[in-house]
Amino acid sequence: MHKDSIIFDLINQELQRQRNGIELIASENFTSLQVMEAMGTSLTNKYAEGYPGKRYYGGCEIVDQIETLAIERLKQVFNAGWANVQPHSGAQANTAVFMACLKPGDTILGLDLSMGGHLTHGSPANFSGKNYRAVHYGVTKDGLVDYEQLEEKARTEKPKMIICGASAYSRDWDYKRIRAVADEIGALVLADIAHPAGLIASGLLNDPFDHCHIVTSTTHKTLRGPRGGIIMLRHDFENPYGVKDPKGNLRLMSSMLDLAVFPGMQGGPLEHVIAAKAVAFGEILSEDFKAYGQQVISNAQAMAKAFVSKGYNLISNGTDNHLMLIDLRNKNITGKKAQETLDKAHITLNKNSVPQDDKSPFVTSGIRVGVPAVTTRGLKEADMDTVVEMIDKVLMNADDAGVIESVKSDVKMFMNKFPLYPELG
């Protein structure tokens, strides 16, 4: 069989793009080489519907060991009592939780997408907003979660589930306060920690497991694993809906969640990705990973300080985690123009709505900037000044092709000092 030179040439072009650019998309990272190696294996050939020891196909004795190892390592990472590693993405992990805990039309309370929330927390464009009655809380004028509004909405709307977590929020969460109002109204709390999961795993941010009933995450952001989703419980508990198993016993929430993932919303798990998750979870259990998490926070705070020194308006005036949200209106450039112009200089980030944005989600007034990927490359605090200097130069000269070309050359030379996958040639 001849090698597909077209596809492999494009794959190589993508490797070069990653090597030569500054990657500041907050939801992206670079996995280790062994995580990628685990994904590109014969495990991709194996169908394994069901769970370890309870499969619908034969020949699963080895993938059973792999998936069990992934589960056990993940439980160790977060000190969890139960975990499911099969969801193909964070969105599917959330879908399964909703399926296990809610009926169509039930009320959910989540952070508004325009205030930094996620599509799956009740956006009308998403299944979560289409299938359930979604109400939202927002952020204060200082850019912090408006807990008073959250509590007021919880008491008046009586949601079945309160969702905490975000895709563009730079501060830590008060999970204890959210659980208190949830207990008052009889709601479950879902913490979606897709973004800060790696920092939580390292003990650098508040632990949602202490207060939230169910926790979901992706595995490819600050956890630095392959693209995928996970669902976890610190403590299992009987489902509050009276659902019974065939023997007449109340089903445990772990059983409800397992059934929601399979056969509820997906068929065969991606065992090659689950193997890569297991590798990543093993890496997270090393001392090196905590040092990485500390460097992520140090880099984010150094970058935030550099932006502020150049007059940029950071929502909430800083960051506790790996990202920052910047309102560009005082710089007279839209998020869309900023993203597209920086792309030309090989600096990658994303346009993002900011609180009280007066522009459409396709244009936006802001950008979201994250440091997990550049921290993996080896950049330190002093390098954040260099990166911000280059960003500012591009944004302040957005219509000058010569300046942009010059910065693009500087970016490539700068990033050559931080090799990415040198083993790949």
DSSP labels for 211-248? T-SEEEEESSSTT---S-EEEEESS--B-TT--B-TTS
- DSSP class of residue 40? T
| Domain 287-424 annotated CATH 3.90.1150.10 | yes
Residues tagged active-site: 47, 49, 192, 218, 221, 227
Q: Evaluate the CA torsion angle 423, 31, 228, 340 in order and state its sign.
A: negative
Rounded Cα gap, residues 86 and 91, in angstroms: 12
**Residue 100 pLDDT greater than 90, yes or no:** yes
Mean pLDDT in the chain? 97
What's the pLDDT tens digit per position in 216-236?
999 999 999 999 999 999 999
User: Which two tokens mark 341?
Assistant: 């112009």
Rounded Cα gap, residues 173 and 145, in angstroms: 8
Confidence bin at 242 (pLDDT 50/70/90) = confident
First to last CA, the chain: 24
What's the pLDDT tens digit per position in 9-51?
999 999 999 999 999 999 999 999 999 999 999 999 999 999 9
Looking at the DSSP assignment, which residues form a beta bridge with residue 238? Answer: 252
What's the pLDDT tens digit per position in 356-370?
999 999 999 999 999
Phi-psi category of 122—alpha, beta or left, where left has phi over 0 and alpha has psi -120 to 50? Answer: left
When pLDDT is averaged across residues 288-302 and rounded to a whole number, the result is 97
Rounded Cα gap, residues 262 and 96, in angstroms: 9
User: Which two tokens mark 231?
Assistant: 């669902």
Rounded Cα gap, residues 222 and 197, in angstroms: 6
User: Which two tokens mark 417?
Assistant: 């000092």
The domain made up of 34-284 has a fold known as Aspartate Aminotransferase; domain 2 (3.40.640)
HSE-up of 418 (CA within 13 Å, CB side)? 20
Contact (CB, 8 A) for 145 and 315: no
* Model pLDDT, residue 243: 86
* Model pLDDT, residue 5: 95
11: nearest Cα among 36, 35, 28, 43: 36
Contact (CB, 8 A) for 269 and 48: yes
When pLDDT is averaged across residues 317-339 and rounded to a whole number, the result is 97
Rounded Cα gap, residues 271 and 246, in angstroms: 29
Rounded Cα gap, residues 121 and 136, in angstroms: 9
* Model pLDDT, residue 239: 87
Q: Return the domain boundaries, the chain.
A: 34-284, 287-424
**Residue 130 pLDDT greater than 90, yes or no:** yes
Model confidence, pTM: 0.96
Rounded Cα gap, residues 389 and 50, in angstroms: 52
